[in-house]
Structure 1
Amino acid sequence: MALAYHNYEDLPKGLEILHLEYFEEAVNYLLDHPQVKGPGVGLLGSSKGGDLCLSMASFLKGITATVLINGSVANVGGALHYKDEILPPVGLDPNRVRLTKDGLADIVDVLNSPLEGADRKSFIPVERAESAFLFLVGQDDHNWKSEFYANEASKRLQAHGRKKPEIICYPETGHYIEPPYFPLCQASLHTLVGGPVIWGGDPRAHATAQVDAWKQLQTFFHKHLVGKS
């Protein structure tokens, strides 16, 4: 089930405020579906979808396995509401945008660290999660610091007695790790930035990573959802 969450039909146009109850409704729909084995479901999210999946696994019940492709451990973009709790968005500084020689924006340093000051409130409380986690990381991600986020999530989980997540890092691989044989998207319009940005990645290394990542996430889901290797 692919779940749209903004700028689609009657959904909010922007990301200023998101309500986790909307995502909870989707989880409950799947859990009650006769063709879903259960007792839990799996989540797969990339980029902003990754931090949403991390929030779902942290706040909601019934999540057994979660795969994040270059996701953030901080809430990004707008406030996330769930019942009486609000996760504020991590801060950013547009002055940290760099321009390439081609005039494209490199935004990798724009977001603040979720480990410092008021931005610590944006850190998603992963220690609440009962899900198993797999982080797929492109080490040449120019959208944000995905490897740093994956490692910080691992530290937080282990500090609270949770199982260490699986982290697979791919050298020379950019932000958009898509299914195998999709062409590398090195730059495109970023709707939140309002202009073209670079995503990173060497074509050969990125293509190899996409083939492996597809196998890895299927193996992970089979293990934690089906109980088979």
Structure 2
Amino acid sequence: MGVYLDKVKAVVSICGSVIATGNDLTYRGRELWKGFKFQGELLSCDLSKRTTLIESVMRDVLRHDHTHLIPVEKASEDTHFLMVAGDQDTTCSNYGVEAVSQRLEICGRADKVHTIVYPGAGHIIEPPYNTLCEHSHYAIGTIVYWGGEAQGLCRAEEDLWHQIRSCLAHHVRDRSQWYQDLLQKSRTKTDVA
């Protein structure tokens, strides 16, 4: 949405996929970009039968010039991206964060992206004070190991909450006409009182 809808002014991606996975992405019958079909060689299974993605293979897939990378450079000039990942994310989201950042830098839009890779955090980063979700059953019919450790996750969640609020306040709220009108009304009321 942040790439194709001009009204979207801020995108917060928390360990989000930066490539179209699976099916092609279409809108009203129009193909936006081709889906990337994950092959079996991307997956690894540990002794506990938990699935992870093979880091060396994902490093080759999640790069700024991959044909299936979401074309973030097509976003409106005033759209900003907050890209977040954990450094222990077994889905290698940190490589995707790096790829988007590199792509926007190459396109002369490095100021439109803020990236954070949290030490000790895995793939599941939620609002503060949630429990560590180290692994869970996933739609592909397997148990996926998400990575991370409790202390790193807690630090990440507490910081990220402030980062998200700041990003949305600065790029959405403060720039919206609705908010400017509200400020003007409150100033007028203060001046009258």
Quick check: which has more Rg, 1 or 2? 2
1:123 aligns with 2:65: no
Alignment of 1:12-91 (within 5 A): 56-83=1-28, 84-91=30-37
Unaligned runs of 5+ residues in structure 2 are: 176-193
TM-score of the two chains, using structure 2 as the length reference: 0.79
1:97 aligns with 2:32: no
Alignment size in residue pairs: 169
User: Does the CA-based 8 Å contact 2:86-2:122 persist in structure 1?
Assistant: yes
Q: Which residue of 2 aligns with 1:180?
A: 128
Task: Say which SS state the counterpart of residue 204 (structure 1) adopts.
Answer: helix
**Structure 1: tracts of 5 or more residues without a match:** 1-55
Using CA pairs below 8 Å that are at least 6 residues apart, which structure has the higher relative contact order? 2
**Aligned-residue offset at 1:197:** 0.9
CA contact (8 A) 2:23 2:37 kept: no
Structure 2 equivalent of residue 194 of structure 1: 141
The amino acid of 2:68's aligned partner reads S
Identity of aligned residues (%): 31
Give 2:165's aligned residue: 218
Give the partner amino acid of 1:137: A
Judging changes above 3 Å, is the alpha-carbon distance between structure 1 residues 77 and 152 closer, same or farther for their aligned structure 2 residues?
Answer: same
Q: Partner of 1:215: helix, strand, or coil?
A: helix
Match of 1:149 among 75, 90, 96: 96
Match of 2:178 in 1: none
Q: What are the superposed Cα offsets for residues 24-56 of structure 1, whole Å, 9 maximum, x if unpaired?
A: xxxxxxxxxxxxxxxxxxxxxxxxxxxxxxxx1
Deviation at 1:115, TM superposition (A): 4.8
Deviations 1:130-182 (A, max 9, x none): 2111111111111x221111111111112222243101110111001001111
Aligned CA distance change for structure 1 residues 71 and 108 (closer, same or farther; 3 Å): farther
Contact map agreement 1:186 1:201 (CA 8 A) in 2: yes
- Pairwise CA RMSD of aligned residues? 2.2
Distance in 2 between residues matched to 1:71 and 1:169, nearest whole Å: 13
Return the alpha-carbon distance in structure 2 between the equivalents of residues 106 and 149 of structure 1.
16
Contact kept, 8 Å, 1:107 with 1:197, in 2: the verdict is no
Identify which range, 200-209 or 120-129, moves more after superposition: 120-129
Q: Which runs of 4+ in 1 moved over 4 A?
A: 108-112
- What corresponds to 2:188 in structure 1? none
Instruction: Report which stretch shifted further, 196-205 or 98-107.
Output: 98-107
Question: How many angstroms apart in 2 are the aligned matches of 1:225 and 1:154?
Answer: 21
